[in-house]
Amino acid sequence: MDVLALLCGLALFLFGMDAMGDALKKSAGASLKTILGKMTSNPMKGFLLGLGVTAIIQSSSATTVMVVGFVNSGTMTLLQAIGVIMGANVGTAVTSWLTALSGIGGETAAGLEWLDILKPDSWMPILAVIGIGLILFAKRGKKKDIGHILIGFSILMVGMSMMSDAVGGLKSNPDFQNILTAFNNPLLGVLVGMILTAIVQSSSASIGILQSLSATGAITYGMAIPIVLGQNIGTCITAMLSSIGANKNGKRTAVAHLFFNVIGVVFWLSAFYIANAIFKFPFVENTIDMWGIAAVHTIFKLLAVALLFPFYRQLAKLATLVVKSKDGEEETTSMLDERLFETPSVAADSATKVAYQMAELSFDAINKAMTLFEDGYDAKIADAVRDIEGKVDTFEDSLGSYLVKLSSHDMSERDSMQITKLLHIIGDLERISDHAVNVVESAEEMRDKKLTFSSEAQHEMSVLRAALRDIAELTLRGFTENKVDTVLEVEPLEEVVDKLRDEIKANHIIRLQKSECTIEHGFVLSDLLNNFERVSDHCSNIACCVFEISKYDSLDMHKYLAKVKSGNPEFDRRFEQYSEKYSLT
């Protein structure tokens, strides 16, 4: 039954840690974006960045995997990554102090009964009740996230308490004593710590397991120190696995993380045993408790940083020597790195930046295509438009797949709406580039058939192109800068484009009746008008997405159009203003 209780406690502990970590990452999404936006080549700031992020999300493994993703995507350099990794190693020590709370009381608190108030058993039920209440009754996502954090932490501490109670009877067990005797060999202790952490893939979890075993009172400082140091090497397994499939710099980041911990362990463990042989530290044979394990864990991490921080450049060079690039090999990077799924808010931010690149390409394509009717046909420009359209298609395929995969992860309501917005917008952006190619084909048809529009038609089309450039610029700026006021300018201008299309068609029929134009001119003109009008429609769709999600966290095209057009004096004012600006007369 003790074994079953131990396994049950371990299961609850690991589940609670995972649930709390996921909720923290989800809740801290906006903070992570702000912190990660301040990435710098300054190693001290990088160290503080890693420390802050890991303290927020309670997982150095998650931070390191994120960093591998950043380096792989080209967002962060290898030198920047090393500073962040060092900070992440120190930041994860916070968890060991939290789990040590379950060690309050007992013999260490004799005569200090008031300390019982600090024991998790005293206040954990309150946290659990608050957490359940927030999950069940809170309407906003942030409050629900806090509820999940509280529940995760409560489950974690209950699991910790169950493990401690289950191993309590092992103190006098001779078999258990024989197993612990083997840990007097420091190399075996390091190996056990490595294997345990590699299995659970979390140094915080393996430290918690060791803390629960310390409740037996049979583990000494001499046994615990090698195990704790081995656990710091074992935690590298997550980043190493994550680097599979990454580019060279991504692999170097994982290797630098491994070298940081291995060098720190070898140096400080050797220094400790040499010093102990000389000075015979009395505390080595003393029994260690949960607080002692947390202290050993923290002190080692600080000493490792103190040792290697001045040599972060050399650490980068060592990783580069181990993971070599072939001569002439170019590094390929991708902003859409699935390693960033560890923190969905960061992945959503990265996908947004890619969508901005896609938008710039799409609108560049339509602007280039229109120049073929202004500066004369240019084969280089026509080829450039087709190349851009191919790139935009690739963007849509990769970004769409990435966003669909990302949407299956647990994230904040705001990030979820951002993904919804991007999924809608990338389709419109892809269609805009398609229409740009259609415009190129119309220009080529006129060249091949040696057609020329009449002076009146040329003037009318120049007015329409000017309006289209304006609506494209407003849409691009509104989307990339997320400006609601800017996108509100799009809809009245789209109405003006529709009006211009109808007027130009009507004028063409009049010219056709006067034999000033031909049927062939009409076919090309009709194709151009349809493509230009469709581009303005897609701009309207993008504006709708930006406005509705930024303002109301919803997406309803009919509601948007009714709100913007019906009885809106501001819309009427802007429509009149644009109608005067883009008048055919």
pLDDT at 344: 85
**Are 300 and 439 members of one domain?**
no
The burial class, CB within 10 Å (0-12 / 13-18 / 19+), for 455 is exposed
This prediction's pTM: 0.76
**Are 91 and 216 members of one domain?**
yes
**Are 263 and 368 members of one domain?**
no
**Are 299 and 387 members of one domain?**
no
Host H or E run for residue 49: helix 43-57
pLDDT averaged over 10-residue windows placed end to end, the chain, 585 residues: 83 86 72 61 81 78 81 81 90 85 57 56 83 85 84 87 76 66 81 88 84 84 92 89 83 92 95 93 90 93 94 92 71 72 84 93 95 90 95 93 91 86 94 96 92 89 94 94 86 93 91 80 90 95 85 64 71 90 89
**Total domain count for the chain?**
2
Q: Pick from 276, 293, 322: which residue ends a domain?
A: 322
**Are 286 and 352 members of one domain?**
no
Is 335 contained in some domain?
no
pLDDT at 319: 93
Task: Count helices and strands (H / E) in the chain.
Answer: 25, 0
> Cβ neighbours of residue 99 under 8 Å, at least 6 residues apart?
156, 157, 160, 204, 207, 208, 211, 290, 294
Alpha-carbon dihedral sign for residues 72, 406, 477, 39? negative
Q: Pick from 322, 351, 377: which residue ends a domain?
A: 322
Residue whose structure tokens are 């007097």: 184
> Cβ neighbours of residue 383 under 8 Å, at least 6 residues apart?
none
Q: How many CB atoms lie within 10 A of CB 434?
A: 17
Q: How far apart are CA 159 and CA 93, in angstroms?
A: 19
Q: How many CB atoms lie within 10 A of CB 176?
A: 16
The CATH number that applies at residue 479 is 1.20.58.220
Is 327 contained in some domain?
no
Provide the domain limits for residue 294.
2-322
Residue whose structure tokens are 């952006």: 429
pLDDT at 580: 93
**Are 352 and 501 members of one domain?**
yes
With beta carbons less than 8 A apart as the criterion, state whether 416 and 29 touch: no
**Are 75 and 136 members of one domain?**
yes
Vertex 177 angle, CA 171 and 183, to 5°: 120
pLDDT at 487: 84
Is 244 contained in some domain?
yes
Host H or E run for residue 142: helix 141-167
**Are 144 and 282 members of one domain?**
yes
> Cβ neighbours of residue 568 under 8 Å, at least 6 residues apart?
none
Q: Please compute, for residue 498, the number of CA atoms within 13 A of its CA located in the half-sphere on the CB side.
A: 11
**Are 409 and 299 members of one domain?**
no
Give the distance, in angstroms, between the CA of residue 166 and the centroid of all CA atoms in the same chain. 39
Compute the chain's Rg from CA coordinates. 32
**Are 446 and 307 members of one domain?**
no
